[in-house]
């Protein structure tokens, strides 16, 4: 759930007490099974539990597949919704209105108004609540589309790793951070060995599949804060903030071995592939700019190729003129 989404929910939670008499307002987000409850301060655990169970049940019915309530992540915000009333310590859910949040034919979650009183809601409440639900859905759809456009601007559409444009921005920012704070920064340039042969032998469609698979291997091999980007046709680049040279070397070698031992499906057959990797590092290599850091990693990659491919090379300086 993004911070934009949380803001929308909190805004709804703040305004709803002016419109309805309820004990809690819930939003259940299908992705990640995140359930956000905005409820009366004096709500006992029995009430919260019955609301959660009901929302899980409804979303299971709507989504036509069961949801395990133990997998739900619950976040509760308590507010004084009824200043002069305290809820019964044994209160449970007695009435509710629950509506799905549909976005382009798909249910992304549901919202719910809940009460410890029976028959707390009528047709008019339902009409009004559905209008709020649609407004919330429209806003969420807008944020989703905006986020998709943002994604298109920074992700390579084939391999789903970051694109060159994102890399250029990121390396600039990380290099500056490293210069200012002295924290290490590593760059790894990666090239698939003899990739042209794959395209020539099996065609570009199969070649694209290989690129996707390799990109996926890279993504799964790096740490959370690392960046994987497609630098060119069959060239990738990894940004490892905070990584010293030794750690980077270990990660690079692990990736190299992983690719070497993976079987790639191309057409009706399976093939082995290898990669060459070149590493540069701040502060070890004393690059004075991000361009220099990139050039150093590129030179190390060149040495890896010259040295026989399927290897990791660390930048060792440029040959004497």
Any catalytic annotation for residue 246?
A: no
Position among 46, 95, 144, 221 found at the interface with other proteins (CB under 8 A): 95
Q: Is 17 in the site for other proteins (CB under 8 A)?
A: no
Residue 264: CB atoms within 10 Å: 18
Q: Are 207 and 199 in contact (CB under 8 A)?
A: yes
**How many CA atoms does the CB half-sphere of 80 hold within 13 Å?**
3
In the complex, what is the shortest distance from the CB of residue 91 to other proteins, in angstroms, rounded to a whole number?
17
Q: Is 96 in the site for other proteins (CB under 8 A)?
A: yes
Q: Is 269 exposed, middle or buried (0-12, 13-18, 19+ CB in 10 A)?
A: exposed
Position among 31, 65, 122, 321 found at the interface with other proteins (CB under 8 A): 122
- Taking the C-alpha atoms of residue 310 and residue 304, their distance in angstroms, rounded to an integer, is 7
CB nearer other proteins, residue 45 or residue 105: 105
Q: Is 108 in the site for other proteins (CB under 8 A)?
A: no
Q: Is 135 in the site for other proteins (CB under 8 A)?
A: no
Q: Is 259 in the site for other proteins (CB under 8 A)?
A: no
Q: Are 46 and 155 in contact (CB under 8 A)?
A: no
Q: Are 25 and 110 in contact (CB under 8 A)?
A: no
Q: Is 69 in the site for other proteins (CB under 8 A)?
A: no
State the residue for tokens 């990660």: 251
In the complex, what is the shortest distance from the CB of residue 225 to other proteins, in angstroms, rounded to a whole number?
39
Size of the site for other proteins (CB under 8 A): 26
Long-range contacts formed by 208-211: CB under 8 A, 24+ apart: 208/158, 209/265, 209/266, 210/264, 210/266, 210/273, 211/158, 211/159
CB nearer other proteins, residue 136 or residue 251: 136
Q: Is 242 in the site for other proteins (CB under 8 A)?
A: no
Q: Is 107 in the site for other proteins (CB under 8 A)?
A: yes
In the complex, what is the shortest distance from the CB of residue 57 to other proteins, in angstroms, rounded to a whole number?
7
Position among 102, 139, 183, 302 found at the interface with other proteins (CB under 8 A): 102
Q: Is 126 in the site for other proteins (CB under 8 A)?
A: yes
CB nearer other proteins, residue 17 or residue 102: 102
Q: Is 127 in the site for other proteins (CB under 8 A)?
A: yes
CB nearer other proteins, residue 131 or residue 263: 131
From the list 178, 172, 168, 288, the residue with the least C-alpha distance to 237 is: 168
CB nearer other proteins, residue 106 or residue 265: 106
In this chain, which stretch among 42-50, 114-122, 156-164, 172-180 interacts with other proteins, using CB under 8 A?
A: 114-122
In this structure, are strands 73-79 and 34-40 parallel, antiparallel, or unpaired? parallel
Position among 72, 99, 266, 297 found at the interface with other proteins (CB under 8 A): 99
Within positions 137 to 166, which residues make up the interface with other proteins, using CB under 8 A?
Answer: 137
* Cα→Cα distances 262→13, 171, 228, Å: 50, 29, 19
Q: Are 98 and 50 in contact (CB under 8 A)?
A: no
C-alpha gyration radius of the chain: 27
Catalytic residue among 40, 206, 234, 290: 234
Q: Is 65 in the site for other proteins (CB under 8 A)?
A: no
- Taking the C-alpha atoms of residue 102 and residue 118, their distance in angstroms, rounded to an integer, is 28
- Our measurement of the distance from residue 198's CA atom to the centroid of its chain's CA atoms, rounded to an integer in Å, reads 31
The residue ranges that bind other proteins (CB under 8 A) are 57-58, 61-62, 64, 95-100, 102, 105, 107, 119, 121-123, 125-127, 130-131, 133-134, 137
The catalytic residue positions are: 234
């Amino acid at each position: 759930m993004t911070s934009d989404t949380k803001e929308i929910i909190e805004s709804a939670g703040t305004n709803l007490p002016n419109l309805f008499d309820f004990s809690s307002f819930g939003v259940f987000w299908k992705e990640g099974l995140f359930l956000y409850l905005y409820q009366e301060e004096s709500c006992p655990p029995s009430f919260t539990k019955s609301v959660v169970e009901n929302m899980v049940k409804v979303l299971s019915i709507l989504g036509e597949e069961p949801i395990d309530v133990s997998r739900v992540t619950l976040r509760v915000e308590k507010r004084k919704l009824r200043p002069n009333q305290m809820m019964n310590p044994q209160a449970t859910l007695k009435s509710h209105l629950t509506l799905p949040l549909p976005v382009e034919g798909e249910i992304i979650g549901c919202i719910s108004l809940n009460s410890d009183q029976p028959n707390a809601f009528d047709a008019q409440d339902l009409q009004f609540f559905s209008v709020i639900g649609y407004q919330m859905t429209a806003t969420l759809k807008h944020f989703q589309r905006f986020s998709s456009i943002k994604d298109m601007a920074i992700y390579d559409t084939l391999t789903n790793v970051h694109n060159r444009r994102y890399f250029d921005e990121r390396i600039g920012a990380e290099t500056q951070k490293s210069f200012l704070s002295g924290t290490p920064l590593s760059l790894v340039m990666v090239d698939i060995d003899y990739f042209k042969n794959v395209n020539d032998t099996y065609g570009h469609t199969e070649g694209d599949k290989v690129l996707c698979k390799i990109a996926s291997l890279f993504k799964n091999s790096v740490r959370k804060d690392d960046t994987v980007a497609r630098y060119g046709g069959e060239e990738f680049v990894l940004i490892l903030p905070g990584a010293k040279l030794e750690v980077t070397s270990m990660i690079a070698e692990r990736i190299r071995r992983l690719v070497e031992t993976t079987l790639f499906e191309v057409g009706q057959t399976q093939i082995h592939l290898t990669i060459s990797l070149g590493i540069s590092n701040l502060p070890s290599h004393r690059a004075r700019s991000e361009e220099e850091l990139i050039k150093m990693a590129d030179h190390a990659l060149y040495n890896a190729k010259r040295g026989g491919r399927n290897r990791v090379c660390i930048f060792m300086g440029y040959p004497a003129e």
